[in-house]
Amino acid sequence: MTSAVATEFARKIRDREPAVGYWVVLDSPVSTERIARLGYDYVALDAQHGLIGYNGMLTGLMAIDASGQAAGVVRVEANNATAIGKALDAGAVAVIVPLVNDAQDAADAVKYAKYPPHGIRSYGPMRSALRVGPVPAESDATTMVFAMIETPGGLENVEEIAAVEGLDGLYVGPSDLALAIGAAFPGDPAIKDEFEAALKRVSAAAAQAGIAAGIHNANGDLAQQRLGEGYTFATVASDLTHLEATAAAHLQQARS
């Protein structure tokens, strides 16, 4: 049986209703569970750049599910059948797929995430059978695929990528996207106008295709801004950056 959390999250994203998530890079299921209880629509585990291996992804998804509130999302390490299949088998409701450069890359990602006849996902759902559903058609209807737009090719081909059948959304990786359009470093003010134009192009492509547009953000204020600009889901910061920032602020206050 598909869980109510998974079903509601899929409905919200596919109806392009606003959703807010949180980004986790630490293999710390106890803190991940606490974050998942705060009211975020989803919590995303970073298996590409985060400090999370397979066991960390598994226990992180279990911690998110234990909250009974947030959906578990995984940014997989690569666009291949093994990485995507393992994340979904472990219980992810959605996968964020990096380095999507063209429509074929996006179509491959969808194919890896769906069971036959719509894809080539191997049947072995393990714990996702408890949370997403053991019946292939039900799983396909609930699990979602987001293509990251973060490369020169991805931006150039964003309209074709968005139109790929079965894709549920685009997801902007702002640091890599900034570098892709000529920034010397993420947040480089020299390319601010070009960067904002790129973000508008991505959200417009998603809207034209009738799918969701998501983006990572450094803080809640920026997430609110992007949602107001037409993005339909926005992820906030990360557990590691917040841990460091909060500890630094308390230290400064204590010593002042």
- Which residues of the chain are modeled with pLDDT < 70? 1-2, 131-132
Instruction: Please report the pLDDT score of residue 2 as a whole number.
Output: 64
Instruction: Please report the pLDDT score of residue 11 as a whole number.
Output: 96
Domain 4-255 carries which CATH code? 3.20.20.60
Instruction: Please report the pLDDT score of residue 38 as a whole number.
Output: 98
Distance CA 183, CA 195 (A): 9
Instruction: Please report the pLDDT score of residue 62 as a whole number.
Output: 96
Annotation says 49 is catalytic: yes
Instruction: Please report the pLDDT score of residue 129 as a whole number.
Output: 78
Q: Which of 49, 118, 216, 250 is catalytic?
A: 49
**CB-based contact 173:123 (threshold 8 Å):** no
Instruction: State pTM to two decimals.
Output: 0.96
DSSP result, the chain? ---HHHHHHHHHHHTT--EEEEEE-S--HHHHHHHHTTT-SEEEEESSSSS--HHHHHHHHHHHHHHTSSEEEEE-SSSSHHHHHHHHHTT-SEEEE----SHHHHHHHHHHHS-TTT--PPS--TTHHHHT-SSHHHHHHH-EEEEEE-SHHHHHTHHHHHTSTT--EEEE-HHHHHHHTT-SSTT-GGGHHHHHHHHHHHHHHHHHHT-EEEEEESSHHHHHHHHHTT-SEEEE--HHHHHHHHHHHHHHHHH-
Backbone angles phi, psi at 195, to 5 degrees: -65, -45
Question: What are the residue boundaries of the structural domains of the chain, listed by start?
Answer: 4-255
Instruction: Please report the pLDDT score of residue 125 as a whole number.
Output: 83
